[in-house]
Every structure is written in structure tokens, then in C-alpha cells.
Amino acid sequence: MLPTLALGPLHVNTYAFVYAVAIVGCGMLAFHRLLASGSPAGWVVEGLGFTVLAGMVGTVVGFALIRWVTGPSPVGTFALHLRSGSTIFGALTFGGLAGFGYCKRRGLSAGEHFDRGIVALPLGQAIGRLGCLAAGCCYGRETDSWLGMNLPDAGGLWAARYPTQLLSSVADLAIFAVLLTIERCGSRAVGTVGRWPFPGFLTLLYSGLYFAKRFAIEFLRGDDAVVLSPLTWAHVLSLFGLALTAVLLAVNLARVRCARRPSA
């Protein structure tokens, strides 16, 4: 749609520019929130750096796994698959593991620090989806619905399509608002000493909301390989993420209930 930004004599890839803004903005907000935990600024910078770097590695590993499962892709489609959004699962997995490991190394509460940093993530994702809109990746299926907009696919073919990039961006902003609301008002809602039932609750809430959003919007997208019609690989991974999130929520809530139970 607008693949290149002309800044005088300089021509910048819109997708890369918007994602750079998203990463910097998300990182600055996460840095500000993590500093409020009392952790040294050097630790915060180091931890965020490791997490972001691991997330980038996760996108490449995720792509490699997808290519291994689905078979070799035609020449020239690496960037398309890398930008398609499916590799976000690799980024979340590797980034999350790196952040968890760093917290354990420094003797920090991983749950508390993840809850502080995770709120910034859906805001960054909402901004990043605008880059997808400009590049034409993560495009929607053709439709005659009232939701349809005249948009291109990754190959530049214009048609009335579901604006999946904009829908994802709005959904990410809604998740951002939900997390902020629960963070500020959750203590009265759950009636606990803390702001929410257990450290890491906001992180698991984000995980559940993100995977539910991705599962729903995937039905409208036209850029992912179908596994079992109408389910795609992103559907399968989203269902796995939802199941894992539900298990972790159940385990932690059970642990909290046992801790509150008076001893005999």
C-alpha cells in the first residue's frame, strides 16, 4: 500500500520503519515500568536487550520450523513468510524464555517483572500491524462483506479484502486497555492483598487474550497454509497457546488456594 517512505533523498522501507518505531516505543514503555520495580537501570536494559534479541532469534527459528513442517518454499518467499506473522509464536517463546532465565539469574521475581513489562507488548504490536498494512503482508481474504476494504496482498494484487491488519491493531489496543484496567482496578475486583491473584497473572491474561484474538482473526486472513480446512498452522499454534495458558492459570490459582487454606 505504501511500501516506501520518501524522506527527501532518503527512501525508507515503511514496514521496517514502523516496526522500528514499535520496538523502540514498546521498549521505552517497558523500561519505564520496569524501573518502577526498583531494579537497577543496568539490569533492566540488559534484561530487555536479551529478551528482544532472543525474540528476534525466535522469529528465524519459527520460520525454519514452519518451512520444515510445510516443505520447501519457492525461491524469494523468505521475507513473505518471515513477515506473515506466524513466526510471532517463535518470538514470544524465545523472548519469554530469555526473560525468565534472566530474572532467575538475577534473583528477581519473574512473574512480577513480566507483569510490569508485558503491558507494553500489545501496544507495540498494535503499532507494528500498521507496518503490515503498508507492506501488504498479513492480508485478509477477499470478501464482499461491508467490512471489506480495497487493499493489496503481498504480491500487490488489489481487491476488496478483510482489513485484518487494522482489525489486529484495534484488538491489540483493546488488550492493552484491558491489561491497564486490571492493573489499576484489579485489587478491588479480586479482593486479594496484591493487585491480582498471583505474580504473572497479567502475563497469562495477555497470553490468553492474544491467542484468542489470533485464532479469531486467522479465519479472515488469506496468507497462511491450511492444515485442516478451515484451520491453518496459526490456528493450531493458537489452540496450543490457549491450552498451555489455561493449564498455567489453573495450576497457579490452585497453588494460591492451597497457600490460603488454614493448616490443620
Task: Report the chain's mean pLDDT, rounded to a whole number.
Answer: 84
Burial status of residue 25 (CB atoms within 10 A of its CB: 0-12, 13-18, 19 or more): middle
* Of 117, 118, 160, nearest in space to 139 by CA: 160
pLDDT in tens, 194-234: 457 889 999 999 999 999 999 999 999 988 777 777 888 88
* Of 171, 178, 179, nearest in space to 33 by CA: 179
pLDDT in tens, 2-43: 677 777 777 788 888 898 999 999 999 999 999 988 889 999
User: What pTM was computed for the model?
Assistant: 0.86
d(CA 184, CA 132): 31
* Of 226, 235, 222, nearest in space to 164 by CA: 222
Helix (H, G, I), strand (E, B) or coil at 152: strand
* Of 128, 170, 135, nearest in space to 152 by CA: 135
d(CA 208, CA 252): 15
pLDDT in tens, 86-115: 578 888 889 999 999 999 999 999 999 999
120: number of CA atoms within 13 Å, CB side? 19
Give the cell for residue 121. 507488548
Q: What's the confidence (pLDDT) of residue 196?
A: 74
Give the cell for residue 67. 518451512
Question: CA angle, corner 235, sides to 231 and 237, nearest 5?
Answer: 135
Give the cell for residue 149. 476494504
End-to-end CA distance of the chain: 67
Q: What's the confidence (pLDDT) of residue 219?
A: 93
Which pairing describes strands 4-7 and 10-13: parallel, antiparallel, or unpaired? Answer: antiparallel
